[in-house]
Amino acid sequence: MDLVEKDLKYIWHPCSQMKDYEELKPIIIDRGEGVYLYDKDGKTFLDIVSSWWCNLLGHCNPTINAALIDQIGRLEHVIFANFSHEPAITLCEQLMEIIPTGLSKFNFSDNGSAAVECALKMSFQYQYQTGHKEKTKFMCLTEGYHGETLGALAVGSMDLYAKMYQPMLMDTNQIEAPDCYRCPFQKNRDSCNCECFVYAEKAFADHGDETCAMIVEPLVQGSAGMRIYPPLYLKKLRALCDRYGVLLIADEIATGFGRTGKMFAFDHASISPDIMCISKGLTGGYLPMAITITTDKIFDAFYAEYSEGKAFMHSHTYSGNPLGCSAALAVQKVLREERILEKAAVRAEHLTKRLNETLLDHPNVGEIRHIGLIHAIELVTDKQAKTAFDAELRIGYQIYKKALEKGLILRPLGNVLYFNPPLTITETELDEAVGLCAEAIAEILGS
């Protein structure tokens, strides 16, 4: 058997209907460099989606490579209960310089879903131990996505991921999320007063007293199709949470480390959450690591004599893994020394211009929305009515397959195509990606 045959014999790929692999065989990648991946046959693929949004600084970044080579000769892992190591301590020290004001305590885990689970348990126990045993529920936005474990699924609300498992999930209260492309108030995201916030106000009026925490993907609902909403919504949400004594959890797993043009999405609103979850770009996509960051106030509610039973009895085998911490430190070094965010801002303007010039007038492109280097192309059957394609047509998937033939990884979110490239991508590489995307769209939908 060749590698493809062996793959299909043994491997159950994530987020896939494996029957699709009968037609579209797995692509065996041999190596990566910058924004490009190379398969075993030598074909080149431009990774415009950052390999599920985590490859922050390009494949095989030399600075991160060197940091890992150095660390692996020192220490690969150590139990993180009662033990520590310099990379973890230094990483926390450096993150303190860039995270939203007030966050100060770091709880390590090994992936984004685990960071969310940690945040949910932490907020529940905090309310319990500060005299609010009635606060047992969670709030979230409709169309939200926070991970695949049961707690994370419960505070997500996309049927694609969660509907099957509803009998296993805790009951949560959902708030109608902002949908700025199809705004029910006929407003524009760049000039509105977040009239849709009335849904949040009603939900808090009905359920705020029983709610321990509200979790949100700040400014970008990624899996919902890169739905982008204004910073004002976060400001209003912060005030509402304060009014009802509800903790605000920021799921910055996909939006952190410059993806939205600022270091964290909450920075656009100049406010701070009570708990923040980070992962993906934290290690540049090299190693699975996540951190749940919270405040001294929340930490202090767990600080007591052991006999009081207030300790946070939550752990992960790979908490604080030295290799992951070293990769994360290298990411911080590159972000600082190479002025990555400043350069990415220039590239983001270039990408917006090129996509608008190339695709905005296409009869099936309803909107091209963007924040930072994240750009989303919403495909519709009617631009005026904003009518979506029938999901059964799998239009995004058809374009994805055509783009793969051309050497562009353009994995869709339903009828939404998106660019979310490494922050180190060049204008020439962006032009290449736009051209290949336009070609793929034209071959499926016409020019």
pLDDT in tens, 154-202: 999 888 899 999 999 999 999 999 999 999 999 999 889 999 999 999 9
Q: What is the pLDDT, as a whole number, of residue 157?
A: 83
Listing DSSP states for 391-443 in one string gives GGG-HHHHHHHHHHHHTEE---BTTEEEE---TT--HHHHHHHHHHHHHHHHH
Question: 235 and 271 in contact (C-beta within 8 Å)?
Answer: yes
Range 406-428 average pLDDT = 97
Is 109 annotated to bind a ligand? Reply is no
- Confidence class of residue 308 from pLDDT cuts 50, 70 and 90? very high
pLDDT of res. 295? 98
On whether the CB atoms of residues 371 and 260 are closer than 8 A, the answer is yes
- Determine the Cα–Cα distance for residues 368 and 342; give it in Å rounded to an integer: 22
Q: Tell me, what amino acid is at 365? A: V
Judge whether 281 is annotated as a binding position.
no
pLDDT digits 0-9 by tens, 112-132: 999 999 999 999 999 999 999
Task: Supply the pLDDT for residue 447.
Answer: 84
Under a CB-based contact definition with an 8 Å cutoff, are residues 330 and 338 in contact? no
* Residue 113 assigned as binding residue: yes
Q: Is 426 annotated as a binding residue?
A: no
Q: What is the pLDDT of residue 159?
A: 86
Mean pLDDT of 356-363: 98
Domains of the chain: 3-61+339-445 (3.90.1150.10), 65-338 (3.40.640.10)
349: left (phi over 0), alpha (psi -120 to 50) or beta: alpha
H-helix or E-strand spanning residue 291 = strand 290-295
Question: Residue 313: left if φ>0, alpha if ψ -120 to 50, beta else—which one?
Answer: beta
Average pLDDT over residues 387-392: 96
Q: Is residue 411 annotated as involved in ligand binding?
A: yes
Q: What confidence tier does 398 reach under pLDDT thresholds 50, 70, 90?
A: very high
36 is in an annotated binding site: no
Q: Please, are residues 324 and 61 in contact by the beta-carbon 8 Å criterion?
A: no
Instruction: Tell whether residue 326 is among the known ligand binding residues.
Output: no
Determine whether the annotation assigns residue 211 to a binding site.
no
283 contacts: CB under 8 Å, gap ≥ 6 = 64, 289, 324, 327, 328, 331
What's the token pair of residue 416? 């939404």
Q: Is the pLDDT of residue 232 over 90?
A: yes
Question: What pLDDT score does 121 carry?
Answer: 98
Please tell me whether 172 is known to bind a ligand: no
What is the distance between the alpha carbons of residues 74 and 113, in angstroms, rounded to a whole number? 29
- In Å, what is the CA distance from 194 to each residue of 187, 230, 237? 8, 8, 11
Start-end of H helices in 306-376:
322-337, 340-359
317 is in an annotated binding site: yes
Please provide residue 374's backbone torsions phi and psi, each rounded to the nearest 5 degrees.
-75, 120
Residue 331 has pLDDT above 90, yes or no: yes
Rounded to whole angstroms, the Cα distance separating 142 from 414 reads 16
How many beta carbons lie within 10 A of that of residue 283, not counting itself? 26
**The overall pTM is greater than 0.85:** yes
What's the mean pLDDT when you consider all of the chain? 97
DSSP state at residue 166: G
